[in-house]
Amino acid sequence: MIKNMDDKGLCFDIAGIKECQKNRYPLLYIDKVQNVIPGKFARGIKCFSYNEWFFPPHFEDEPSVPGFIQVEALVQTFLMTFLTISEFKGEKAMGLSWDNVKFKRTIIPGECLIIESHLLTFKRGIAKGYSVSFVDGEPACSAEFMVVIPSVLSKFNPK
């Protein structure tokens, strides 16, 4: 479901997120996206439960969220900055690069990751921007992304 929160932007639950992007269980790593300003900003939320498939093997005696899961949650929130634009909604997007990835703290079961994503440029189907995340206001992870919508980019290929 998509709700317009007036001056706070759009808000998406799981069904609304799935309308905008192609990620599905077990690889959909955001629970809710709020304060979306299409073409500019999105705030994602991921609450980690010990029931997640990756906790028992990572690590049984001291469970923590693997780095690739954190980065994937960041990029999925970043996708919502441009896949919420009506003409791109539901398009397949593919990562081109992850840069300057930084992990600031360990994330454990029971914690919620708050992700803020900013779209810097979006031209010819190529989106550039970054995401930063927090747990209880403390920096957790950050990264810069370049993502492409292949169907849009292909329109600019020489004939």
**Tell me, what's the pLDDT at 147?**
98
**Tell me, what's the pLDDT at 7?**
63
**Tell me, what's the pLDDT at 76?**
98
Q: What tokens were used for 120?
A: 């810097």
Domain ranges of the chain: 2-156
Sites in the chain below the pLDDT cut of 70: 1-7
Active-site residue list: 58
**Tell me, what's the pLDDT at 120?**
98
What is the percentage of the chain residues whose pLDDT exceeds 90?
84
Measured at the alpha carbon of residue 57, what is the angle toward residues 115 and 48, in degrees to the nearest 5? 25
**Tell me, what's the pLDDT at 103?**
98
Q: What is the CATH architecture assignment of 2-156?
A: Roll (3.10)
**Tell me, what's the pLDDT at 60?**
85
**Tell me, what's the pLDDT at 145?**
98
d(CA 26, CA 108): 19
Measured at the alpha carbon of residue 19, what is the angle toward residues 144 and 128, in degrees to the nearest 5? 20
